[in-house]
Structure 1
Amino acid sequence: MIIQTLISPETTMEMDCDDVLFSNFSYNPEAYYFLYVGDLKNYSLNCFVKECLERRLNKREVRFIAIVPDVCIQYNYTNIIVINPVATQDMIENHAISHMDTQPRMSCRLKSSIFMKAVSESKTVRNLIETILANQNQLYVNLYESMVEMTLDSIDRVSVLGPDKQIARKYNDKVFQYNLLKGRVPCIDGLCCEGREHLLQTTSTLWEKWPDGIFVSAAYSAGGANSAVTYCQEDVVRKFKDDDNCYYLVTRYIPHDLDPTVLAVVANENDVYIAGIADQVIQDGNRFVGSTFPSVANTEQQRQLREHTVTIGRILGEAGYRGIFGCDYLIDRKGDIHFLEINARKQGTTLEFCFTLEQTLPEGSPMLPELEYYAVTENRFPAHTVEMNDNHHGIHWGTHNYKITAAQLTKGYIPQNPYERETFKKIARKELIKDFVILEHLGTNFLVSPGTFLARVVSVARCAEDVAEGLCQGVGFIQQTIHEA
């Protein structure tokens, strides 16, 4: 196996590493630690959390340990713990005999619920927490998404630095959202169904009424999973096979060309901070692959998008939700706005908006993780909070998540680039006209399972055309590193 023993030059830590695939961290009892649990692609968000805590702790050194499921050839990041039960089992069964084994290793994306449960049950993680709490009075766990399967906060003096997980689960339910918000924001015509039989009965009666198509989503869906645009009854039958325990939202499909998304933070029932508006890149009607900024929505449309998101944020705030969230919309070909869904979590634009805000807002303004920290711990925003009112430095960016849809073998490697933040700074200062970075490439000689992120491209420039060029070049480089399994 490729497990590396946890390193501790300053203090001795006895760790059972059977549940860890890889680690490279060292522990210093003089530093203040927090944990991050989530995908590697959001690692850099923790730098903003670190800076926030250092300000709050009077400049005591803050470090974080990132617990991730991503299986890569190498990690150009410090203080990593990799927990992935499926990949670990593959290592035990297929790669334990010889270090010279040339059989491809497995890289797969775990369901978030499985990953969170594995981390929560990890003896290594719990021993680590015990060691940390011997040297500090509290330990924060920073999450990309608050999930009920994360139970580390049941340990005394451990708390989640994010929204309440029970509230987040409730408000991530698409059926619940629809019933809550229709009449309060512009929702699309729709119906709720209990079970597959009810779903099939309902959709069979709607094709004449909704000839452009029917959008079907399970109560819990994200990134294109468990949802689909359907154009005939056979599509529904083929794409949705879950048993009668599943709830579905069925809505009229509206042809459109623009899918704006609004990122925000809620501190209480009154205070909602709008970080910005980007445009989602959607393939096959519902599969999210990236975003672009600034949005091409016009001034009036952006005003309405902000207004609707503030309305939703206040509803979340009244329910006790505190922290970052996002709202997705579509703008039809007449220019009308339609609400799609709440993402009661951080979303794909969070990191790039942090980099944009850092270059745009007055120096010292709190970034999104700091706003979330204050929202969670004090139910307020800090006094010097400022929203972005214009793109003063002309920053344009786009992202592309290269997600595998069929099993692939990797035959090349693009070294992980940890300098996305510096790229935004150079574009804002006009030290560069355009640039793109390829991030979190898994590496060579992997059998990559469908649904796994192979790599991510971020293109930053001073105009949309150069952003598109960078994304195209980055995707081209990634495609050269794979072939069919």
Structure 2
Amino acid sequence: MVPEDDEILFTNFTYNPDYYYFLYVGELKTYSLNYFVQEALAHRIPNRPIRFIAIIPDICIQYNYANIIVINPRGEEEFISDHAFVQPGKKPRRCWRIESARFMSAVSNNPAIRTLIDRILEHQNQLYINLYESVLEMTLDQIDRVSILGPDKYIARHFNNKIIQYKALEGIVPLADHKVCEDRDCLLRTTAELRNRWTDGIFVSGAYSAAGINSAVTFNQEQVEKKFGATNDVYLISRFIPHQLDPTVLAVVANEQDVYIAGIADQVIVDGNRFIGSKFPSTATRQQQEKMHEYTVRVGRMLGEKGYRGIFGCDYLIDNTGEVFFLEINARKQGTTLEFCYTLEQTLPEGAPMLPELEYYAVTEGRFPRSTAEMKDNHRNIHWGTYNYKIQTKKLTTGYIPQNPYERETFRKVANGELLKDFVILEHPGTNFIVMPGTFLARVVSVARNRDDVDEGLCQGVGFIQQTITEAE
């Protein structure tokens, strides 16, 4: 058992010394990616069954997952320990998306987790930690024989900086017209000066931003003042390019030369910069996809020269004339990583390594295994789409959608023709929660044989989610 600790809100984990464990620290939405890590480690550690322990911040009414430990500093006072369905009249709990830095720091400093690690290391010579993103606040790897199974966190932090990216990629990939502003006064002055030349709008981003946070497309100076007037950062400003397509490329880099391209999906962007999901296959032309493939390899080799090893992504836009422009590097796993694993599993030759195994080899050996194969075409005719249902105003959940563990099975059945289409709803917290703005309430994943059926599944899934919420008082 995990030692008792007031910061651990729930656990169903019992330690078994016969197993070889690794840790996953991150949100519930990428829990299933660990099965691929588990399978990758099984190829390298054949003498013991591999299991993972998932340390997550998600507070739910119940967990349909094995080996869970819940730590959430924001939820300690409001958590109901028995997870029974809430009775009528009981006070709702609150549900927020905790900041990654705060969560990673809480896990890293938790005495019970450190005691658990000591116990695990009594029975195995190495403990890997799998992360969605390598961040500085994760310090458990400072323990002897504990290591992060992903990119170096200092290099990842360096290359998640938009300013660093654009300086490093000048002349390597096509960039929109852009400038760097060292502070708020420079931002306000420079955007005002450029407004008459960059008439389609000006995109403003802090050095670090993701999913629309700390960035905005602005069409007048009032919008700049409102969004950034109270902050003082280093800003990247670029000419907004009207476009209809926002492709994203998922990749893995093993060294200075070897870059693996997993696939290209189309991001669904609303309000100019707010990401809500992705769709595969991309509707970009073959020539445009070849360009993005080439550009991403260039980016990967640049990262590889600087010591980055592991999964990363590149976002692009295709303007209204068909030209491809680079937008940003995501020096981490992307939201498409799990669905691309399911797609590659059904598409690649038997025995070809999946993305977590490629990352394992990249991180531990600086190479890819000999059996590595890229997806050349979508010969199984797999189409999929995702929708992240993010709350914009405070809501109350009045219904519950049980956690669905069968997303992988859905991909297999559609690829084999057992199903023409299906969708799953994932990570809904349960009933009687006050869900705060900025929180992901649930995800929809729709799989089919064509884009129209994918869209129908997403629409139905979103409809089911909407039936579980009402405005909170």
Provide the TM-score with structure 1 as the length reference. 0.95
Rounded to whole Å, the distance in 2 between the matches of 1:91 and 1:39 is 17
Q: 1:411 aligns with which of 390, 393, 398?
A: 398
Say yes or no: does 1:84 pair with 2:72: yes
Rounded to whole Å, the distance in 2 between the matches of 1:334 and 1:452 is 36
Letter matched to residue 235 of structure 1: Q
Within-5 A mapping of 1:121-200: 121-200=109-188
Q: Displacement, 1:91?
A: 4.0
How many residue pairs match? The answer is 468
Question: Which residue does 1:55 correspond to in 2?
Answer: 43
Rounded to whole Å, the distance in 2 between the matches of 1:447 and 1:400 is 21
Within-5 A mapping of 1:328-477: 328-477=315-464
Within-5 A mapping of 1:215-230: 215-230=203-218
Letter matched to residue 69 of structure 2: I
Q: Displacement, 1:194?
A: 1.5
Rounded to whole Å, the distance in 2 between the matches of 1:57 and 1:116 is 28
Q: 1:294 aligns with which of 269, 274, 281?
A: 281
Question: Which residue does 2:259 correspond to in 1?
Answer: 272
Rounded to whole Å, the distance in 1 between the matches of 2:260 and 2:24 is 24
Give the conservation status (yes or no) of the 8 Å contact 2:176–2:326.
yes
Question: Which residue does 2:299 correspond to in 1?
Answer: 312
Secondary structure at the residue paired with 1:47?
Answer: helix
Rounded to whole Å, the distance in 2 between the matches of 1:243 and 1:254 is 25
1:112-168 Cα distance to aligned partner (Å, 9 max, x none): 111111111111211110111111111000000000110000001100000000000
Secondary structure at the residue paired with 2:76?
Answer: helix
Q: Displacement, 1:87?
A: 1.0
Give the conservation status (yes or no) of the 8 Å contact 1:457–1:471.
yes
Rounded to whole Å, the distance in 1 between the matches of 2:47 and 2:267 is 38
Give the conservation status (yes or no) of the 8 Å contact 2:59–2:79.
no
Rounded to whole Å, the distance in 2 between the matches of 1:193 and 1:411 is 46
Q: Displacement, 1:182?
A: 1.8
Provide the TM-score with structure 2 as the length reference. 0.97
Distance 1:18 1:101, change over 3 A: farther
Distance 1:128 1:101, change over 3 A: farther
Question: Which residue does 1:44 correspond to in 2?
Answer: 32
Q: Displacement, 1:428?
A: 0.4
Worse-superposed segment, 174-183 or 419-428 = 174-183
Worse-superposed segment, 340-349 or 106-115 = 106-115
Within-5 A mapping of 1:199-214: 199-214=187-202
1:249-292 Cα distance to aligned partner (Å, 9 max, x none): 10001110000000000000000000000000001000000000
Letter matched to residue 62 of structure 2: Q
Give the conservation status (yes or no) of the 8 Å contact 1:67–1:83.
yes
Q: Displacement, 1:89?
A: 3.4
Rounded to whole Å, the distance in 2 between the matches of 1:165 and 1:101 is 46
Letter matched to residue 209 of structure 2: S
Question: Which residue does 1:482 correspond to in 2?
Answer: 469
Within-5 A mapping of 1:68-107: 68-91=56-79, 102-107=90-95
Rounded to whole Å, the distance in 1 between the matches of 2:209 and 2:429 is 25
Secondary structure at the residue paired with 1:237?
Answer: helix
Q: Displacement, 1:59?
A: 4.7
Q: Which runs of 5+ in 1 are unaligned?
A: 1-7
Give the conservation status (yes or no) of the 8 Å contact 2:253–2:301.
yes
Percent identical: 67
Q: Displacement, 1:243?
A: 3.5
Q: Displacement, 1:240?
A: 1.1
1:387-423 Cα distance to aligned partner (Å, 9 max, x none): 0001010000000000111111100000010100000
Q: Displacement, 1:22?
A: 1.1
Letter matched to residue 436 of structure 2: S
Q: 2:5 aligns with which of 17, 29, 47?
A: 17
Secondary structure at the residue paired with 2:325?
Answer: strand
Letter matched to residue 362 of structure 2: A
Question: Which residue does 1:5 correspond to in 2?
Answer: none
Give the conservation status (yes or no) of the 8 Å contact 2:383–2:449.
yes
Give the conservation status (yes or no) of the 8 Å contact 1:31–1:61.
yes
Q: 2:102 aligns with which of 114, 133, 149?
A: 114
Letter matched to residue 339 of structure 2: E
Worse-superposed segment, 100-109 or 28-37 = 100-109
Rounded to whole Å, the distance in 1 between the matches of 2:231 and 2:455 is 42
Rounded to whole Å, the distance in 1 between the matches of 2:87 and 2:470 is 24
Give the conservation status (yes or no) of the 8 Å contact 1:16–1:123.
no
Rounded to whole Å, the distance in 2 between the matches of 1:417 and 1:477 is 14
Secondary structure at the residue paired with 1:77?
Answer: coil
Q: Displacement, 1:180?
A: 1.2
Q: Displacement, 1:99?
A: 9.4
Secondary structure at the residue paired with 1:205?
Answer: helix
Secondary structure at the residue paired with 1:291?
Answer: strand
1:315-351 Cα distance to aligned partner (Å, 9 max, x none): 0000000000000000000000000000000000000
Letter matched to residue 429 of structure 1: N
Secondary structure at the residue paired with 1:88?
Answer: coil
Rounded to whole Å, the distance in 2 between the matches of 1:193 and 1:412 is 47
Rounded to whole Å, the distance in 2 between the matches of 1:454 and 1:59 is 40
Letter matched to residue 144 of structure 2: D
Distance 1:345 1:386, change over 3 A: same
1:15-66 Cα distance to aligned partner (Å, 9 max, x none): 1311111111111001000000111000000000001111111152000000
Give the conservation status (yes or no) of the 8 Å contact 1:45–1:351.
yes
Give the conservation status (yes or no) of the 8 Å contact 1:19–1:123.
no
Rounded to whole Å, the distance in 2 between the matches of 1:59 and 1:309 is 38
Letter matched to residue 128 of structure 1: L
Worse-superposed segment, 444-453 or 266-275 = 444-453
Rounded to whole Å, the distance in 2 between the matches of 1:251 and 1:28 is 54
Secondary structure at the residue paired with 2:203?
Answer: strand
Question: Which residue does 2:15 correspond to in 1?
Answer: 27
Rounded to whole Å, the distance in 2 between the matches of 1:156 and 1:233 is 52
Q: Which runs of 5+ in 2 are unaligned?
A: none
